Structure 1
């Protein structure tokens, strides 16, 4: 269903993420990766292939071997990692087994057998994953190949394992299926694969006559920063890896695919028109909006829901072994149940109170189902807390979530009332059949000895400029998510000296693993002082008394002008409580129901819209 929605939406070629071909890994990796290790996968391939072919799309599958970026840490009975040399990667820190020729031949045959099953499953092509520091890339990375045998030294030697895999695959599929190779155009690690190395690799792949296209990614999954760059959260510029594809295209004759934060059809067309690539991959762009291609063809550019690089619900969940979703598209992962929006059997008059992401999505979906909807917002602008979060330069793309939702409810003719605070009396006058309360949350009141309205402010007031913040600032990261870290970023960008405190092992402890390295780089670049294991005890004049959350030893930060707190919000549900028992149907969604994240708010809105 996930792939079919994208085929319906106009995608030309669909590709599964990397699939495991080594049976020794399949026993412990099925929650994270699809495993192609026996013929049981063939019926599934056929089901997907036949379904996407019905809409004119091609279906290809990607095969790889984790190599040295795999760990047995969570799987004590698992087979140890294999690599070119016994050099541990920075993240897993587990010394891999140095694979020998016999082992390489065995793995090459595993790739070949997997390819034969893909062919039997009516797939259209195969991609060999030779990127991101995994097994095959490890042989041509100077950082991870310390061998002195036939698989070391000149580049041709280092590429032998890859060509062993290519030969086995071609032996099993002939020329019936297309074959692409994914490489890292730059490893983004000092001393690692450079773009010049990648060009040399690509020339040899092209000359082999065995490869139909090169997919140019980047990075190494064994290093946090390199991994963060190539999986590309909103901290990475749009199209950041296009120059790598462009460099490869200059030296090869086969097609080259550009990837990485290409999330807009205009941007994609420019990549092609300027000669940087022959193909563009738009994975997360099609997660945010599976119908992007058809909307682009129809000239409906403003109706495209653009990916904003919030990786917490998509790629980060892959690494946790759970089903992906999308921060702003709750249909992802639930296509079977939610892709078709059924008209309401009974049309109702619905009042939605609150114009943040939850209320906007509820109004949108409810209207699409045929209900008559009125949307009330206390302030003069729709968007809720998204408008606050997007004040930070690194998070500005979040604003497009609100823009899209606002545009859609406007186009649908939702009756919008701004600068209107809803009271029980107003609800009684309107007499709706159902009321959806999405009034969000408010910052809490912190009781800290020595605090005043001048020296202690909440992060929302700081970001909106409603509170005066001095030159030397302590920021309290009480949620572990992005609010504390991004508030610190925001203030540091203004030239302020910022100390960021957190009770746990890290600041931003709950930030997803793809975004976190980029947040840290930004904070450190702005010279924010990171202080984990540290929390506030009191304020004494311009002195902030802190304590270590493990030893309870106190210390002081001197000459502090302002303390900004980013701690868990408080439910704003007074109107919900006052309407209980007074309206026919009453719902609370978003932060009004429970303070969480944008994804939860939009999901709540979509869910209630489908239930009304």
Structure 2
């Protein structure tokens, strides 16, 4: 055992089930099903997660009620016996690889897909006055119907609530028959049961609404029903919000609203008396743990609950590194710590931590691409920016049959990932990079709210050293590359220049250059004045504006399209718009830059009308253009195999760069 993490790797128990350590993998958006059945790849995914060394794997969310189907959210369902064989494959795969298996049961309620078309159900009708709510509903395409007043659906009748209770018991019995060691009942995160518990969404005036005891009645009845059908020795975990989510979901006009920690503690004490084996304390914000959120956002709630009960308490939510998990357990804030997305990034992080290989843990950068509907979420197998193999059997790194001499040109994420995988496969690798390894990862990591990317830079730097890759700090020429069997071209992209009068002035900067000065060259922010005009409302422009606003500047973003952050996924969009609002950043859309003066800029609107804005300086963030000149030259002059990857094929995200670098390295 690694003495640095003694608390993390001590044994523990949940009910009568002993776990080999205090690490669990919480349920998240792991699975996608078109028909409610478990897809073939899923048991293999969980096998890999279990193989990594966690003591407990919690799978889910799996639909427990016959009133809902897999539907839009694509969750597998456990509502009839035909589904049991697939779940049995999952449970067996987890246990065969050294972990205990837990099946999370839940339902989505008003944002679920009803079994009978049009028969959507909500907990109750009632106003929900959340400042700015309509803006959020637009962002999320009304995905959270239960938050939008007035409710468009029918309330659960008493008979339907009784059916819900019975359905959970039946689903738990199926999970037990499938071989799971325990079940978790999900009663948080604004899902179906969570909406019963929260006064923000439960306005019922019958026996299932009103006081905390009445709002939690359905949960208590579900626990009783599971115990009746599975026996009281079959462990049950209940996942609860420590409180409702942050911001307007927690406070209105300075007054606490929604489910509070006092409510959760009252519910927790009742559940303990019922014989529940453990409590998993969460918070709504764990659903979208973006980079600007602190580690362990649910730990405070878990700590308060743990002081009030005598059963184990679990917690998850940006428990990204073993040091933090160790501290949580050492301090007595929780008995078990979990992280889903870090285990997507590196399923083996528990084993690596235990064996003293901390520096080999590939870090999650909390970019949330794993929840991007265009990448995965409701459309297919799980994805991860930094781990292209997650959820994809057959994508593992295997030794090459023929060892080759390979050059990698460019030391950004695409090039370093290619070099890493090529070296692991046994090839001889030479990496050319004229500046620091990491390239534009440095600029991307400059704002403190993007500091998770700094961990990725350090990880790759350590791997290049550990694998003894020949890194040559120079710009590769065609002559440097003539003797290689294969060449991976990862030359990246360059900022686009906006050729208008005044664009070459001393008061004009590129966003990339400005960020590089602060984080790479360490020269600090130049004297750009107070009023800064940023040209371009994509992610680079908006994040630069937020970064400058945090330093006391007053940025204005100019975007030629009708909205900023076009094409960004809903989670990133919501978070960035929230920060724009927080810092009072001015956004002007449907405008084009016409000219730059010493102390102003002139912009033109869609009707051709000019507008002059006071401006001390201008920051160009009008996009990036592929740096493909070397690729084209290699194609013309050399017979070697050429593999272009990353931004040299077109500027995109870190996700695309790492995945293309990984795939190219597997092909060579």
The TM-score normalised by the length of structure 1 is: 0.91
How far apart, in 2, do the equivalents of 1:70 and 1:561 lie? Answer: 51
Indicate the residue corresponding to 1:589 in structure 2.
645
Question: Which stretch has the larger CA shift, 56-65 or 90-99?
Answer: 90-99
Indicate the residue corresponding to 2:423 in structure 1.
367
Please say if 1:435 is aligned against 2:487: yes
Please say if 1:196 is aligned against 2:252: no
How far apart, in 2, do the equivalents of 1:500 and 1:376 lie? Answer: 36
Are the equivalent residues in 1 in contact too, given 2:591–2:604 (CA < 8 A)?
yes
Please say if 1:518 is aligned against 2:518: no
SS of corresponding position for 2:308: coil
Please say if 1:206 is aligned against 2:272: yes
- Deviations, residues 223-257 of structure 1 (Å, cap 9, x unaligned): xxxx5x65211110011211110011010111100
TM-superposed CA distance for 1:600, in Å, is: 0.6
Question: Which stretch has the larger CA shift, 506-515 or 270-279?
Answer: 506-515
How far apart, in 1, do the equivalents of 2:431 and 2:116 lie? Answer: 54
1:454-493 equivalence runs, <5 A: 454-465=506-517, 469-479=528-538, 482-493=539-550
Indicate the residue corresponding to 1:278 in structure 2.
335
1:161-560 equivalence runs, <5 A: 161-188=218-245, 189=249, 190=251, 191-209=257-275, 211-219=276-284, 227=285, 230-314=287-371, 319-334=377-392, 336-339=393-396, 341-379=397-435, 381-418=436-473, 420-428=474-482, 431-465=483-517, 469-479=528-538, 482-504=539-561, 506-539=563-596, 542-548=599-605, 552=607, 554=609, 556-560=611-615
How far apart, in 2, do the equivalents of 1:557 and 1:76 lie? Answer: 58
How far apart, in 2, do the equivalents of 1:540 and 1:76 lie? Answer: 63
Distance 1:477 1:25, change over 3 A: farther
TM-superposed CA distance for 1:465, in Å, is: 2.9
How far apart, in 1, do the equivalents of 2:562 and 2:332 lie? Answer: 47
TM-superposed CA distance for 1:422, in Å, is: 0.8
Are the equivalent residues in 1 in contact too, given 2:386–2:658 (CA < 8 A)?
yes
How far apart, in 2, do the equivalents of 1:66 and 1:182 lie? Answer: 14
Indicate the residue corresponding to 1:33 in structure 2.
75
TM-superposed CA distance for 1:455, in Å, is: 4.4
Are the equivalent residues in 2 in contact too, given 1:9–1:291 (CA < 8 A)?
yes
Distance 1:119 1:548, change over 3 A: farther
Please say if 1:64 is aligned against 2:106: yes
How far apart, in 1, do the equivalents of 2:323 and 2:503 lie? Answer: 51
Indicate the residue corresponding to 1:224 in structure 2.
none
TM-superposed CA distance for 1:289, in Å, is: 0.7
TM-superposed CA distance for 1:25, in Å, is: 2.8
TM-superposed CA distance for 1:293, in Å, is: 0.8
Distance 1:291 1:478, change over 3 A: same
TM-superposed CA distance for 1:48, in Å, is: 1.4
1:54-203 equivalence runs, <5 A: 54-70=96-112, 77-87=117-127, 90=133, 91=137, 92=145, 93=148, 94-188=151-245, 189=249, 190=251, 191-203=257-269
Q: Could you list the runs of 4 or more consecutive aligned residues of structure 1 that deviate by over 6 angstroms after TM superposition? A: none
Indicate the residue corresponding to 2:57 in structure 1.
14
SS of corresponding position for 2:394: helix
TM-superposed CA distance for 1:376, in Å, is: 0.7
Distance 1:27 1:237, change over 3 A: closer
How far apart, in 2, do the equivalents of 1:215 and 1:548 lie? Answer: 53
- Deviations, residues 532-572 of structure 1 (Å, cap 9, x unaligned): 454434445644344555xx364625211223232331111
SS of corresponding position for 1:53: helix
How far apart, in 2, do the equivalents of 1:557 and 1:120 lie? Answer: 71
Distance 1:259 1:435, change over 3 A: same
Are the equivalent residues in 2 in contact too, given 1:462–1:468 (CA < 8 A)?
no
Are the equivalent residues in 2 in contact too, given 1:439–1:592 (CA < 8 A)?
yes
SS of corresponding position for 2:406: strand
SS of corresponding position for 1:35: coil
SS of corresponding position for 1:216: strand
SS of corresponding position for 2:370: coil
SS of corresponding position for 1:337: coil
- Deviations, residues 261-305 of structure 1 (Å, cap 9, x unaligned): 001112111111110001111111111110011111101111111
Distance 1:144 1:401, change over 3 A: same
TM-superposed CA distance for 1:87, in Å, is: 5.0
- Deviations, residues 434-490 of structure 1 (Å, cap 9, x unaligned): 1111110001122335533434432101212387633211223343xx312210012
Distance 1:19 1:607, change over 3 A: same
Are the equivalent residues in 1 in contact too, given 2:535–2:618 (CA < 8 A)?
yes
Are the equivalent residues in 1 in contact too, given 2:119–2:154 (CA < 8 A)?
no
TM-superposed CA distance for 1:395, in Å, is: 0.5
How far apart, in 2, do the equivalents of 1:108 and 1:216 lie? Answer: 22
Are the equivalent residues in 2 in contact too, given 1:463–1:490 (CA < 8 A)?
no
Indicate the residue corresponding to 1:564 in structure 2.
619
SS of corresponding position for 1:236: coil
Indicate the residue corresponding to 2:87 in structure 1.
45
How far apart, in 1, do the equivalents of 2:438 and 2:431 lie? Answer: 12
How far apart, in 1, do the equivalents of 2:198 and 2:162 lie? Answer: 20
The TM-score normalised by the length of structure 2 is: 0.84
Distance 1:562 1:302, change over 3 A: same
SS of corresponding position for 2:265: helix
Number of positions where the alignment pairs a residue of Structure 1 with one of Structure 2: 590
Are the equivalent residues in 1 in contact too, given 2:627–2:648 (CA < 8 A)?
yes
TM-superposed CA distance for 1:411, in Å, is: 0.6
Distance 1:194 1:533, change over 3 A: farther
- Deviations, residues 169-222 of structure 1 (Å, cap 9, x unaligned): 22222135321111110103221111122112211111222x111111112xxx
Distance 1:534 1:200, change over 3 A: farther
Identify unmatched segments of 5+ residues in structure 1: 220-226
How far apart, in 2, do the equivalents of 1:557 and 1:5 lie? Answer: 58
